[in-house]
Amino acid sequence: MLDVAVVGAGPMGLFIASELAKEGYEVVVFEEHSDIGNPSHCSGLFSTHIFEITGEMPKLHAAKRAEIISPLGKVLKIGDKRIHGYVVDRVEFDREMGRRAIKNGSEIHLKERVRKINYPSIMTRRGEYRARLIIGADGINSIVRKSMGVKSPKIIGAAQVIAKVDYEDEESVKIFVGNKVAPGFFAWSIPLFSGFSKIGVASYGNSWFYLRALLRKMKVNPISIGGGGIPIGMVERTYSRGIMLVGDAAGHVKATSGGGVYPGLRASLCVIKTAERALNDGDFSESALRDYENCWRNDIGKELSNAARIHNFYKKITDDEFEKLIEELNKEDMRKIINEYGDIDYPSRVAWKLVKKNPRLFKYLGIALRKGT
């Protein structure tokens, strides 16, 4: 009997495995691929808060500025010298997480897909294991979630390529908005290194169609293609007897940006806390693991709910309204507030400040706001 079986060697599974193995528990991570971090779907734009949780990690460069480009090509430039985040090589990030998990004593079984979960039994392509606790960190198509009978969140498609792009400012990312560019979400261009960028689109339409149009407009040719799904909204329940669900599998993703690493890591801290108590007490009942759900809902759950509200409103904005919104936000006092209070992980905080200063913005941002967050 293992102490902990983690399904999925993404950042959440590896972080949890690492922390629990460090405490002396017997942990095995099951990963269906033969390699950690590959294939990578991510753009690798990580807020500074992520590194407050993980500690020092390999980074490519800082992200200090952003240009938001309206449907008609108006540009809102935000940011200055403050570091809001870092661009990372996501493959290297996951591999470093894997190295730490192994160093702390966890086993990682690569090329071992989990086929079925029936707590405490885990059936893989190689055989059966048993574990006192099972952690579902197996991404958007989670088999652990299915075994719990929990419905999948809504998933929107994202298409992404790497291409050579002429950029002047490596520390500035470009965001394109508008219903002809990326209906319901947005497109991006994120500098990597040596003139290469990740260019992508997430949308409610066919994201590949919109990405091809953007690449034609930017006059660039891709050298590699990727993409994946972004969960929109949290699942209704993230625990059952002996099982906890975390990360993309649980919908721990900001519906405003598609960023899942920070909210997933915050929820992972709750997994670790609850797991340690359950393993110590030998109590893996639903009532013992309910603490996990309370923990993350009272923590990052509040901002994820705000993000879902912002998203539900954002996806209905017309192109004319985007133009007006960008015009308003381009005013000096507005940009000053964005630069001072903007936080990738907590967009509702800056939204409050903007509406207070300019009540006309309530029309666009008001619905997203909840007092006290």
Point out which residues bind ligand FAD (CB under 6 A). Answer: 7-13, 30-33, 41-46, 113-114, 137-139, 143, 158, 160, 200, 227-228, 230, 247-249, 253, 258-262, 264
Neighbouring CB atoms inside 10 A of 336's CB total: 11
> Of the two residues 111 and 331, which places its CB atom closer to ligand FAD in the complex?
111
Q: Which is nearer to ligand FAD, 167 or 208 (CB)?
A: 208
Is the CB of 202 or the CB of 279 nearer to ligand FAD? 202
Cα gap 29→203, rounded to integer Å: 32
Considering the complex, what minimum distance in angstroms separates the CB of residue 30 from ligand FAD? Answer: 5
Least gap, CB of 160 to ligand FAD (angstroms): 5
CB of 144 to ligand FAD, least distance (A): 8
Structure tokens at 349: 């905080």
CB 105 within 8 A of CB 27: yes
Residue whose CB is less far from ligand FAD, 16 or 334: 16
Strands (E), the chain: 2-7, 27-30, 45-47, 61-63, 65-69, 75-79, 85-87, 107-109, 114-118, 121-124, 128-136, 154-164, 172-176, 186-193, 196-203, 222-232, 239-240, 243-245
- How near is the Cβ of 69 to ligand FAD at its closest, in Å? 18
Q: CB-wise, 134 or 365, nearer to ligand FAD?
A: 134
Toward ligand FAD, which CB reaches closer, 11 or 242? Answer: 11
β-sheet bridge partners, residue 28: 5, 107
For every residue of 16-66, DSSP letters joined together read HHHHHHHTT--EEEE-SSSSTT-S-----EEEHHHHHHH-S---SEEE-EE
For residues 114 and 275, which CB has a smaller minimum distance to ligand FAD in the complex? 114
Closer to ligand FAD by Cβ: residue 119 or 262:
262
**Shortest Cβ 16–ligand FAD spacing (Å):** 9
β-pair type (121-124, 128-136): antiparallel
In this complex, which beta carbon is closest to ligand FAD, that of residue 15 or of residue 352? Answer: 15
Burial class (CB in 10 A: 0-12, 13-18, 19+), 209: exposed
Radius of gyration of the chain (CA): 21
Furthest C-alpha separation in the chain? 63
Quote the least distance from Cβ 98 to ligand FAD, whole Å: 10
Minimal distance in Å, beta carbon 237 to ligand FAD?
A: 17
Minimum CB separation of residue 292 from ligand FAD in Å reads: 15
Task: State the minimum distance, in angstroms, from the CB of residue 326 to ligand FAD.
Answer: 22
Lookup: tokens for 19: 């922390």
**Beta-ladder partners of 228:** 158
CB of 64 to ligand FAD, least distance (A): 16
In angstroms, the CA 192 to CA 360 distance is 37
330: enclosing H helix or E strand: none
Complex with ligand FAD: residue 269 or 367, whichever CB lies closer: 269
Contact call for residues 78 and 342 (beta carbons, < 8 A) = yes
Residue nearest to ligand FAD (CB): 260
